[in-house]
Structure 1
Amino acid sequence: MAGEYTASDFPPLKNDLLLRAARGEETERAPVWVMRQAGRYLPEFREVRKEHAFFEVCRTPELATKITLQPIQRFTGLIDAAIIFSDILVIPQAMGMVVEMNPGPHFPEPLVTPEDVSKLNPSVDVDKELGYVYQALTRTRHELKGEVPLIGFCGAPWTLMAYMIEGGGSKTFQLAKTWLFKYPEASKALLARIADVCVDFLVGQVKAGAQLLQVFDSWASELSPHDFATFSLPYLTHIATSVRTRLAALNIPAVPMTLFAKGANQSLDSMAATAGYDVLGLDWCIDPAEARRITGGRTALQGNMDPGLLYGGRDAIEEAVKRMCEGFKVGGKPKAWIANLGHGITPGVDPEDLRWFFQCVHKYSKA
């Protein structure tokens, strides 16, 4: 079960750069973290994985906390947020599907036709099914000792639905798109059902200690602007609105919310106008100044260096970070911007090159 914790139940926060930037404030430098910062590029992560299966780590709060803290400990003073170690596919698991990781995600029995939706749990007790994530969040908040804020997250309904139908990753999304276009009403019903589980899960994460929430729509790039507006945006908006409404009803202060819809730059304006998130994450395929122009100050921004640049050597990393920092500044100052990569860090990166990325952000993002 998710306990209800207040800020006074945890060590006081020493570094609130991330939260201030997410609220749209000017900061002395840009806060920085990276997606998948606790992952396979770290030798200490690989050591844990030698002894424990992926989802075993997710379901064991002590291990999830240990891995969440690994990059914070390795890069002391350089990272401005921790993100809980988990996976977006815990929601399909909670809904009654089997998900394996070997090494990528695999669903032995994906949804084939709309009739298969009947195999899902008719209702989901999220506290019961995903309470291990809440326990990991609470444990991690304490063990962070207030060093940096802790991020909770979930997958977006369209992305989760695509996995549930495709049975894993896909290059063509033929099966998931067959559903969207052949069974649009059944697709919308499933998306709404997933969205409601996401709401429960995110509210529970805040109750357990998450200080910022991020929603990952990893397959947003597969949808045209029209289809994104039809099959993704309404459910993303529902999540943001419902989480805030539920927290208010519980007298729990709202936390900032970030939406990362990878590859949906053509829908950036509509996301800024209607989705209801405090921060929009950007991939590396849009210029920072253009993103600023489109969003018009309606949201903070997060991103967006190409993760591939981390393989380019220190000169390339430094030049890219310098360019990124200048692109996101407002009047020569960092404002409403969280420095990050444009997607998750990949397994072959040398941790010392990531350290250099963090150091360059510290240097070039200052006012």
Structure 2
Amino acid sequence: MEKRIMKVAYKMPPQENWNAFRDEKQTNENHITEKDYQAIIDAGFTHGMGLLEHGAEIAERALQVAEKVGLKYYVRDAVNWANILHPDYYYYNRDNYEKYAKYSSFAGLYVYDEPNANKYPDLAKMVQGYYDFFKGIGEPLVNLLPTYANEVEQLGAKNYEEYIEKYIQTVPTNYVLYDHYPFRVKNKVEEYLSEEYLYNCDVVAKACKKGGKQLRTFIQSAVMDNGEIELLPEIIDFQIHTHLAYGSRAIIYYYYWGDENRVDNKSGLVNWDGEPTELYYRAKKVHAEISEYEDKLCESKWQKTLYFKGQNKHLNEKEFSHFEIDNSNKFVFSYDGIVGLFDYKGKEAYYLVNYTNPRLGLENEVELNLDGDYYVWVGGQKAELKKGVNKITIPCGRGAFLLPIMKN
């Protein structure tokens, strides 16, 4: 069993003049370098995923550098950007793919992004074609739509639940991956938290549990909707802890490398010129914090996630009609929170999250009535909690993992 959470940097450092293939003037420096890739490793990432790299020569350069620093790398090529759904393509392009497969850094191919459910039968053949060609080397990566996709035109299903269920029934990946970017902007300046964020987590997590699949998720690390606001560093923690509370085993950043002419926290963990932003350092910090317990978390089986109402009404209540709201006194939050319930060797483990918009800066005081002794990790600190009533503080954007202390 994999005992690390995958942490994936999507939109990797670009090659020199990356946009030249479009005959546009481009003068950026080459960033497919050991220095730039080592910075990804230093921040605690396990994988990278291509976006700006075009052509086999660039992909192979990326694999070479990734191999030197110990980073796994997903290649994005014509299969993805041309939406190719013909399994024979692997054999037509075998010279390149056989080269890729020789690198220990090769993690697989980014095969398809946000398919319509009507494409699932052909996508299933494409995924199986990958397995047949690569014979156990790497994996095909497929990313599904979020809940805010248009049901008729995009989903190809009567509702989102059916969209996910059809994928699990049809496409032979051992995971379900989707993207949902929760920090949206109105009129370029007004930020709000998506009302369907937890609903999306809940639907896919439950479907994965039922179908025996691994849950994988994207997180937002760039401003959407052409917004002009800056993202707070706490949004990194907030999304990661929320997804871990739903049992996610992969966190993919959209995106790592920033856009041109933007030198702030609006577009990525690293600016276009290669300088880390506050988001980079926050990602590095939270990766280090969860590394203290991620092996135990990966040994735990997700059961369900409950929503707990605190003293203050959450800004976006619409989605919560879907959830089981816990009214017991086991966990009492001062503000809104969620708790993931996990089975750890026959006992309950818990993942608590301060589910308030990070821009509010609220600390969440939680009273816990525990039926045994527990270890707790919160904010990079480990402590022991005794059976009975305990109190902990979950900082803004943070989570807390509670693991039962097993008696000999």
The structure whose residues are more often helix, as a share, is: 1
| Larger of the two Rg values belongs to structure | 2
Q: Which has the higher contact order (CA 8 A, sep 6+)?
A: 1
* TM-score normalized by the length of structure 2: 0.43
The structure whose residues are more often strand, as a share, is: 2
